[in-house]
Structure 1
Amino acid sequence: MADRRARVSDVHQLAAGMPHVTVYPGTEDRPVYQVGGKSFVFFRTPRPDARDPDTGEKYDDVIVFWVDGEQDKQALLQSGPPYFTTAHFNGHPSVLIRQSELGRLSLTELTELVQDAWLSRASKTRARAWLAEHPT
């Protein structure tokens, strides 16, 4: 069976399915997924730094995924859409994806992105335990 395109519901399912995850309600329907009190995936509220270049409208569908540092961030950004960032996130170990662009990723790619986000924020003990159970 071919790998299908990623969906927003997959983000919720994958993030909530990682161990030791708590869901902070956030605002509106924008949950924040945390491990050990540290966010690793969240649905961002519209902000002035993320706008449609044609209409100027604030993006209202941005998801933030933590990464394991600047090198990983740059590698994802250089791979092109759907990954992007804004000046607000300069120096921040994360990449952004619009929900409307999520289908550019396969479910496998999204799974890896969510798992890597979790690993970047989990304690070393939790990360080691998870990696031992999920060898690559």
Structure 2
Amino acid sequence: MARRRSRRATVDDVHDLALAMPHVRVVEGTKGRPVYQVGGKSFVFFRNPRPDAVDPETEERYDDVIVLWVADEGDKLALVQDDTTPFFTTPHFDGHPSVLLRASRVGELGYDELAEVVQDAWLAQASPTRRAKWLAEQTGQAGLRAT
């Protein structure tokens, strides 16, 4: 992921960016935490504390983990192995096409970086038709801005 300069991202941006994608439905997860879906498939969700994600010093469960889908293992590794990003994973997510991000660390990302990750999460779960339409619209908008 190319590091972009933009204002710092916020947790509200996660919600706003997910909701800005087409055909998004928000369902209430356990304990009222939002799950953002496209076509019935989750692409961003705020998960409950679990024993696989704990503070290494206090052993307290993280209560602010956000799960974001990725296209494939290569994209996942690119994010979690880059020491300049706050993304991580746990053994529970081995083989699962997603990365984890603590809400308390969202501000380590620029808005543009977060937007790219949320949009990629949507693209990873959207149907081929929806994906193609959205990508075509983005290309068209970029062309309009360039002229």
Q: Which runs of 5+ in 1 are unaligned?
A: none
C-alpha change, 1:35 and 1:83, in structure 2 (3 Å) is same
Q: Which runs of 5+ in 2 are unaligned?
A: 143-147
Greater Rg over alpha carbons, structure: 2
Root mean square deviation, CA, Å: 1.1
Where do 4+ consecutive residues of structure 1 move more than 2 Å? none
Q: Which residue matches 2:145?
A: none
Q: Shift in Å at residue 3 of structure 1?
A: 1.4
Q: Shift in Å at residue 79 of structure 1?
A: 1.1
Counterpart selection for 2:41 from 38, 46, 51: 38
SS at 1:57 equivalent: coil
SS at 1:53 equivalent: coil
Per-residue Cα deviation, 1:63-112 (whole angstroms, up to 9, x for no partner): 00000010000011111240100010000000000000111100000000
SS at 2:74 equivalent: helix
TM-score (norm 2): 0.89
Q: Which residue matches 2:72?
A: 69
Q: Higher helix fraction: Structure 1 or Structure 2?
A: 2
Counterpart selection for 1:54 from 27, 45, 57: 57
Query: Whole-Å Cα distance in 2 between the matches of residues 38 and 72 of structure 1?
Result: 19
Query: Whole-Å Cα distance in 2 between the matches of residues 116 and 124 of structure 1?
Result: 13
Query: Whole-Å Cα distance in 2 between the matches of residues 27 and 90 of structure 1?
Result: 22
Counterpart selection for 1:26 from 11, 25, 29: 29
Q: Amino acid of the residue matched to residue 50 of structure 1?
A: A
SS at 1:28 equivalent: helix
Q: Which residue matches 1:4?
A: 7
Per-residue Cα deviation, 1:3-36 (whole angstroms, up to 9, x for no partner): 1100000000000110000001112341000000
Per-residue Cα deviation, 1:35-83 (whole angstroms, up to 9, x for no partner): 0000000001000000000000000000000000100000111112401
- Corresponding position: 1:112 with 2:116: yes
